[in-house]
């Protein structure tokens, strides 16, 4: 859709010329590209007009439509030049369509522009950037054309070509009366959903009948009563061109969104419409249609891209696949090469010269002069080396040439005077190959197009500006998928094209448009020639050797650049000899040979590389680029000094560094930096002698300006004989020169520099020892190798604190939020402590941990945000229980009913440290970690500590309760989780169920579910109840304070349920033993109270779903349970978290014959997700008609949820305002733009 979004509109009649010698040309001065090998023109995309381009190409390749439009002359439509004249009616839309079709037929450009056409529609730039539906455009464009052509001979153009009729009939089965209604159509809209193809869709529309029977009867006008009847439709009148629109876009009422049908939908190349027509007695040819255009949509329902497959009915294009086109091109190039060789043959040239002479005999010397004038090069320079002297060549070909007795004059023998060489053939050989290959779009050549040997029309893919040939079988790829057919265009097989229209784009084009297109093609050729000349011009910078000097191995100008450099623009198709001759003409003062050598400006200066040879070669052939530097000299010396060109003698500019100015005050080393130019072929030993003093060393840093210590390497003795380039030094590389006295300031080990100016930095230390200098902060200079204990001592001195703090203080890094981190071990260096320059440290009381100790934070209780955070230092070899005892001692907590947990990434109590004998180091506990002291002892390994809840369904109140009682009870149930005043375990929880905390059970993971139930029965809460055995208890996993997964099978081990360490179990008492099988589903079923918005008490229903779990099966199970007819109940599932009911439909309604019965899906999948414990409501339709399953409690719950949501929304809005969310630079959600109706503005011509 946005392929040519930023492409400019290049008018084909522009008079702009390409400036010669310009290197960059803007789009408005470049001529449009010529047509490609298909010889068909595309249409430019204005941003979102691919749908318009596809439809316009279809109309253009409908010859009958195109020629009918061309038949309307200016006397009926007016002139475009009169559009702004008052009281003059100009039918601008058909005029612009005529002009566009003429451009597509005749104008030699790759793609035509629709800007003028869309302006005639009244569209602005926003409309051109907005994509619309091509089916909608087809109807609107036809309507606009009909309105524009009112009162002309083309007023019925659309109806004549595209109009058809459909007749709808209803036949009474009793009196056989026929009720008939006729409808007109310009296109047929057919269904795609649940249909395999076009023929099936037409069969459903025009063959199958719809019956009115049973409860759906038809009122017959003749019988005047409700009767059974049959409804059908037939095609009464067929148009010459049949347009079929496919309903690819549908609406999903469940998701409330549109979607695209991408299923397989076939359509034939040829179709017989006889079965769908009212009159079927005519000849088959009357019903046969052939496909000639397929508009294709790629994408989704909210956007995408259109392109079109079109059959070239008039054979206007060159249909060749890439392989065949490449083979033909190679053959044509070979033939052209042979022709050029023939025209370059001296025998042909000499015969041509002599045939033009009226005297029939000329002197041999004069013949050589005429050859020079014609070819621009003498015989001696062009042919002597291969053929010898010209006189000898003439004697050798005595059968053609006749020489005088003295061999001074020559003529052609009489038989060769009959050969005439026209001026066109003589000049042909002088043209460039590109000119020979160009197709000249004149009135003669346009009528000739290349075609392959196969007969018949061919298909093309027209995708905006691009046109590609395709095979007919490629259409099958558009049957399905995101890229698939969207509109089909058929033409009657009876419509035959005249022979003079074949391969003739000028056929039936009005004369004034022919003249306009011919003139535009001439202008285009002229612009392309001018721009081609400009494209071949290159700029050269000629450096004059007489104005340069050699210094430090590089060339430098001795005068200003204006005087030393000559800028020259030349055609790269010129030869090197032409360039040399031009330089001779420009430099009149030059004496001696002119040697041209390529040069390049380097950081060290100008350097020479390759000398240019071969005067007969073109500048483009020798690879001379635009903007190249060329040095003009004698090839030996510059300013009396020898110059060595080439890559091996390239000068390098190196940065030479020396260490100096070391200051013990801590400001660090400083560089003295200088630049030196050395040849890349120089040896390092030469460099060392020139830069270093005796005893000095050189360190290399090949990474340029990077002065990191690890990049510096000492040059070993064995590398001193290597060249500068071979060791990796390039322009900008740095070397460090250390004299003998400098080496004492650094450490050189293993050839690496281990201390350096860059490593010397400073740290900040702040006093936290609660003394007089509490707020004071100092800077301490240090290197990466400085030990932390030295920094601490220096900080105590700078802060003027007592020496006693040396043994009773430590340094702790400070985070940006002010939090003190764990102390840094005093035997660490700055590098080991991972401190950066400028890091802030706190001087605090207490000893720093050693490298074998851990500094830990710990918190007591579950309130991690509000509780105080304490610190402790322990050995990393200490066990968990030892660490816990130290923390309990420091926090003053009594007893041993505690355990330790880690803090997870949410800053909540996470994994428990269950192995009390394990060492902290083995459990990967590190310095700076935070642990939580949690109340309660952990169960032994392999045991679970499970909280047990008592579960009693409270949902459904008796119908004898008053409405006010129900509301009050519901208000209580909507309350928050209740906690006892003593702060013990929770007592009650928000829900439509009753939950009461009973206590904890500690049990082995290898125990059975029955054992868990037995232990739960021993809790004090259960002892007050009379539960006969574990079979009278049902166990559920508690999820979000509601029963979740049902635990069935008393003989299954708890480990097999994968309960986890934080599982909670609720126990439900039963009136009878529970023995649920693996395929049994437990549902809470409740019957609605007739006339009231309430339900009777729920009952448990066990449903075997081993065979199926469908709505149909559930309805039969519930009907059998309540002894009601299946069709007289309605059922729904309750979603308590939303206070909503969802009706469960059975899909048993009567369906039309042509609709397929949908496959019933399992209720355990979306959207019901039926599971154990779900509540199913049942309505008895024998006693009540209403299908509303909601209750008063649901209304209250929804209102409460709505109020909570409103409060949360207001809170979020207030937070956004406070945080300036809507300030500049914040990212906002991009909403989809609203859809805008498509329209075309048309004048009034009635």
Positions annotated as catalytic residues are 50, 305
Q: Do the Cβ atoms of 58 and 307 come closer than 8 Å?
A: no
CA distance 390 to 408: 11
Burial class (CB in 10 A: 0-12, 13-18, 19+), 289: buried
Burial class (CB in 10 A: 0-12, 13-18, 19+), 1224: exposed
The CA-based angle 1003-1008-1014, given to 5 degrees, is: 65
| Cβ atoms < 10 Å from Cβ of 841 | 27
Give the three-class secondary structure for 442. coil
In order of 336, 338, 381, 935, the CA distances from 331 in angstroms are 9, 11, 32, 92
Q: Do the Cβ atoms of 509 and 70 come closer than 8 Å?
A: yes
**What DSSP assignment string belongs to 177-210?**
-EEEEEEEESSEEEE-TT--BHHHHHHHHHTS-E
What percent of the residues of the chain are helix, what percent strand, and what percent coil, each to the nearest 5?
30, 30, 45
Nearest C-alpha neighbor of 55 from the set 294, 381, 369: 294
Bridge partners for 1103 per DSSP = 1081
In order of 213, 780, 1182, the CA distances from 174 in angstroms are 12, 111, 36
């509780």: which residue's tokens? 867
């070979």: which residue's tokens? 334
Contacts of 532 (CB under 8 A, 6+ apart): 434
Structure tokens at 383: 């042919």
CA distance 344 to 340: 6
| Distance from chain centroid for Cα 171 | 57
CA distance 253 to 270: 37
CA distance 1054 to 1060: 10
| Backbone Cα Rg of the chain | 48
In order of 566, 1087, 1128, 1150, 1237, the CA distances from 1131 in angstroms are 95, 9, 10, 19, 43
Structure tokens at 960: 């004898």
CA distance 110 to 10: 11
Nearest C-alpha neighbor of 457 from the set 447, 449, 445: 449
**Beta-strand runs (E) in 73-217:** 111-112, 164-172, 178-185, 188-191, 210-212
Bridge partners for 631 per DSSP = 543, 597
Contacts of 818 (CB under 8 A, 6+ apart): none
CA distance 806 to 1044: 62
CA distance 574 to 578: 6
Nearest C-alpha neighbor of 771 from the set 741, 818, 804: 804
Give the three-class secondary structure for 875. strand
Nearest C-alpha neighbor of 286 from the set 304, 268, 274, 269: 274
| Cβ atoms < 10 Å from Cβ of 622 | 15
In order of 1212, 1218, 1225, 1230, the CA distances from 1215 in angstroms are 5, 5, 18, 21
């Amino acid at each position: 859709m946005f392929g040519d979004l930023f492409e400019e509109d290049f008018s084909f009649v522009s008079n702009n010329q390409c400036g010669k010698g310009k290197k960059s040309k803007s789009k408005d001065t470049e001529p449009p590209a010529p047509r490609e090998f298909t010889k068909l023109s595309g249409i430019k995309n204005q941003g979102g007009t691919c749908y318009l381009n596809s439809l316009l190409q279809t109309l253009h390749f409908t010859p009958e439509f195109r020629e009918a439009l061309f038949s309307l002359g200016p006397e009926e439509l007016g002139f475009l030049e009169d559009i702004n004249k008052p009281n003059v009616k100009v039918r601008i839309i058909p005029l612009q369509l005529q002009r566009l079709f003429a451009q597509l037929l005749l104008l030699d450009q790759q793609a035509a522009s629709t800007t003028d056409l869309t302006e005639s529609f009244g569209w602005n730039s926003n409309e051109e950037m907005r994509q619309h539906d091509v089916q909608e455009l087809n109807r609107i464009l036809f309507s606009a054309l009909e309105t524009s052509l009112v009162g002309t001979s083309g007023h019925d153009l659309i109806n004549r070509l595209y109009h058809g009729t459909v007749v709808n009939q209803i036949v009474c089965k009793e009196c056989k009366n026929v009720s008939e209604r006729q409808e007109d159509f310009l296109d047929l809209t057919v269904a795609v959903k649940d249909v395999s193809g076009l023929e099936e869709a037409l069969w459903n529309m025009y063959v199958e009948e719809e019956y009115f029977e049973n409860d759906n009867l038809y009122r017959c006008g003749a019988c005047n009563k409700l009767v059974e009847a049959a409804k059908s439709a037939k095609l009464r009148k067929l148009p010459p061109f049949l347009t079929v629109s496919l309903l690819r876009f549908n609406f999903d009422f469940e998701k409330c969104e549109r979607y695209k049908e991408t299923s397989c939908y076939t359509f034939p190349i040829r179709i017989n419409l006889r079965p769908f027509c009212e009159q079927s007695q005519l000849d088959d040819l009357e019903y046969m249609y052939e496909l000639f255009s397929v508009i294709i949509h790629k994408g989704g329902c909210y956007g995408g891209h259109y392109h079109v497959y079109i059959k070239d009915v008039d054979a206007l294009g060159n249909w060749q696949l890439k392989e065949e086109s490449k083979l033909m091109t190679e053959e044509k190039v070979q033939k052209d090469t042979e022709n050029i060789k023939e025209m370059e043959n001296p025998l042909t040239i000499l015969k041509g010269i002599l045939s033009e002479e009226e005297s029939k005999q000329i002197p041999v010397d004069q013949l050589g002069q005429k050859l020079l004038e014609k070819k621009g090069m003498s015989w001696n320079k062009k042919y002597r080396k291969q053929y010898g002297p010209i006189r000898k060549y003439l004697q050798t070909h005595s059968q053609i040439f006749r020489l005088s007795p003295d061999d001074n004059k020559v003529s052609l023998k009489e038989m060769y005077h009959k050969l005439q060489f026209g001026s066109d053939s003589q000049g042909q050989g002088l043209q460039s190959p590109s000119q020979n290959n160009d197709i000249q779009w004149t009135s003669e050549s346009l009528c000739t197009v290349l075609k392959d040997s196969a007969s018949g029309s061919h298909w093309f893919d027209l995708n905006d500006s691009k046109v590609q040939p395709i095979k007919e079988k490629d259409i099958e790829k558009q049957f399905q998928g995101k890229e698939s057919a969207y509109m089909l265009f058929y033409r009657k097989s009876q419509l035959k094209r005249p022979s003079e229209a074949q391969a003739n784009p000028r056929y039936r084009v009005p004369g004034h448009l022919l003249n306009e297109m011919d003139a535009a093609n001439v202008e285009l050729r002229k612009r392309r020639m001018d721009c081609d000349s400009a494209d071949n011009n290159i700029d050269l910078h000629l450096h004059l050797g007489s104005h340069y000097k050699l210094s430090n191995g590089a060339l430098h100008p001795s005068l200003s650049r204006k005087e030393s450099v000559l800028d020259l623009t030349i055609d790269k198709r010129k030869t090197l000899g032409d360039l040399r001759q031009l330089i001779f003409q420009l430099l009149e003062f030059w004496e001696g040979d002119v040697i041209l050598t390529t040069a390049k400006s380097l950081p060290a200066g100008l350097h020479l590389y390759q000398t240019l040879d071969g005067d007969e070669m073109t500048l483009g052939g020798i690879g001379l680029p635009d903007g190249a530097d060329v040095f003009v000299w004698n090839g030996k010396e510059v300013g009396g000094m020898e110059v060595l060109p080439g890559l091996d003698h390239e000068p390098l500019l190196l940065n030479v560094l020396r260490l100096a100015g070391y200051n013990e005050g801590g400001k660090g080393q400083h560089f003295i930096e200088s630049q030196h130019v050395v040849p890349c072929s120089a040896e390092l030993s030469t460099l060392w002698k020139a830069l270093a003093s005796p005893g000095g060393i050189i360190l290399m840093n090949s990474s340029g300006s990077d002065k990191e210590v690890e990049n510096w390497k000492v040059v070993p003795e064995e590398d001193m004989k290597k060249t500068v380039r071979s060791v990796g030094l390039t322009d900008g590389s740095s070397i460090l020169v250390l004299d003998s006295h400098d080496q004492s300031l650094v450490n050189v080990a293993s050839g690496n520099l281990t201390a350096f100016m860059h490593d010397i930095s400073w740290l900040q230390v702040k006093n936290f020892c609660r003394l007089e200098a509490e707020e004071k902060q100092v800077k301490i200079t240090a290197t990466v190798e400085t030990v932390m204990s030295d920094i601490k001592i220096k900080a105590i001195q700078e802060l003027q604190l007592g020496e006693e703090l040396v043994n009773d203080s430590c340094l702790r890094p400070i985070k940006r939020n002010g939090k003190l981190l764990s102390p840094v071990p005093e035997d660490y260096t700055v590098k080991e402590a991972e401190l950066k320059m400028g890091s802030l440290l706190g001087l605090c009381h207490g000893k720093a941990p050693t490298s074998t100790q851990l500094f830990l934070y710990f918190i007591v209780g579950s309130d991690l945000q509000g509780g105080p955070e304490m610190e402790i230092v322990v050995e990393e070899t200490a066990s968990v229980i030892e660490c816990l005892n130290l923390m309990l001692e420091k926090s003053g907590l009594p007893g041993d009913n505690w355990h330790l947990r880690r803090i997870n990434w949410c800053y909540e109590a996470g994994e428990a440290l269950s192995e009390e004998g394990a060492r902290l180091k083995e459990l990967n506990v590190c310095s700076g970690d935070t642990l939580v002291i949690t109340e309660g002892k952990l169960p032994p390994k392999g045991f679970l500590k499970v909280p047990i809840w008592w579960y009693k369904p409270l949902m459904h109140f008796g119908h004898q309760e008053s409405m006010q009682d129900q509301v009050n009870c519901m208000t209580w149930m909507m309350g928050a989780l209740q906690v006892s005043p003593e702060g013990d375990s929770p007592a009650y929880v928000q829900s439509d169920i009753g939950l009461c905390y009973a206590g904890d059970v500690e049990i082995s993971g290898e125990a059975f579910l029955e054992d868990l139930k037995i232990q739960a029965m021993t809790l004090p809460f259960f002892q007050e109840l009379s539960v006969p055995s574990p079979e009278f208890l049902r166990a559920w996993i508690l999820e979000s304070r509601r029963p979740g997964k049902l635990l069935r099978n008393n003989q299954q081990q708890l480990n097999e349920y994968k309960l986890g360490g934080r599982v909670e179990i609720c126990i439900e008492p039963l009136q009878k033993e529970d023995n649920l099988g693996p395929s049994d589903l437990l549902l809470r079923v409740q019957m609605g109270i007739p006339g009231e918005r309430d339900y009777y008490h729920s009952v448990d229903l066990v449903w075997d779903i081993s065979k199926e779990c469908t709505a149909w099966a559930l309805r039969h199970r519930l009907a059998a349970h309540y002894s009601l007819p299946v069709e007289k109940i309605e059922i729904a599932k309750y979603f308590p978290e939303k206070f909503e009911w969802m009706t469960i439909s059975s899909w048993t309604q009567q369906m039309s014959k042509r609709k397929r019965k949908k496959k019933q899906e399992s209720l355990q999948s979306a959207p019901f997700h039926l599971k154990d414990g779900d509540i199913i409501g049942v309505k008895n339709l024998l006693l009540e008609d209403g299908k509303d399953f909601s209750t008063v409690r649901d209304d209250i719950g929804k209102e409460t949820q709505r109020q909570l949501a409103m409060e949360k929304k207001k809170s979020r809005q207030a937070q956004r305002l406070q945080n300036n969310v809507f300030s500049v630079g914040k990212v906002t959600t991009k909403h989809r733009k609203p859809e805008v109706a498509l329209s075309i503005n048309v004048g009034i011509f009635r």
